[in-house]
Amino acid sequence: ISSSRRVGWDDCQAVSFGNLGIAHSELGNLRLAIDHFGRALALNERLDRRGGLATNLGNLGLLQARMGRFRPARDHLVRALALQSDGAGRGNRGVFLTGLGTASAHLGHIREALDHLLESVSICVELGDISDQVDALYDRYIDEWLIAEDEGVEIMLNEHHQTATCVDPAAPLVLAALA
């Protein structure tokens, strides 16, 4: 970063700050991650780098959701998705949609959450990304169970996978998520 700063490569600094944000997020240093994503965001705003802005906003949104701050998470993710051009960053779009679905569900916007999660699943299928597809499907099914409960439909989980909702490999895990 200091070398980039000396020669005036602000775009390189923005990428470096974003990468530091990712690293600190993975290490659990969430406050440092937010700081680095914020610095990357400021540089990308100044440089008017739409793709960088979308990535930094999306990463900030995912981090905010991880911290249980669902309203700012939703706001960042909505802005990130609006900045992404069609076809660019499809993988990121899928991940950001999953995060937006989760944040929306926690804010009580269950049907909106399902729409985001369904779009995320379709992107993951299109890209052949099994890991993100599984994440999006789990989020979708949990949100569907919450809708069913809101509508007065009794749901059931059992460890024998004999129910209509048998996509859960470990009932206690899903019960913990629903609790």
What is the DSSP annotation of 135-173?
HHHHHHHHHHHHHHHHTT------TT--STTTT-S-HHH
Sequential DSSP letters for 21-51? HHHHHHHT-HHHHHHHHHHHHHHHHHHT-HH
Would you state the pLDDT for residue 61? 94
Would you state the pLDDT for residue 48? 86
Average confidence (pLDDT) per 10 residues, the chain, 179 residues? 55 84 89 91 88 89 91 95 69 84 89 85 75 68 71 61 53 59
Sequential DSSP letters for 52-95? HHHHHHHHHHHHHHHTT-HHHHHHHHHHHHHHSPTTTTHHHHHH
Rg (CA), the chain: 18
Q: Which of 91, 80, 29 is nearest to 52 (CA)?
A: 80
CB 101, CB 139: distance < 8 Å: yes
- CA distance linking residue 50 with residue 80, whole number of Å: 9
The owner of tokens 């299109």 is 126
Backbone angles phi, psi at 132, to 5 degrees: -70, -30
Q: What is the largest CA-CA distance in the chain?
A: 64
Would you state the pLDDT for residue 100? 92
Determine the residue type at 65.
Answer: A
Would you state the pLDDT for residue 87? 47
Q: Is 36 exposed, middle or buried (0-12, 13-18, 19+ CB in 10 A)?
A: buried
Would you state the pLDDT for residue 40? 92
- How crowded is the C-beta side of 63, counted as CA atoms within 13 Å? 25
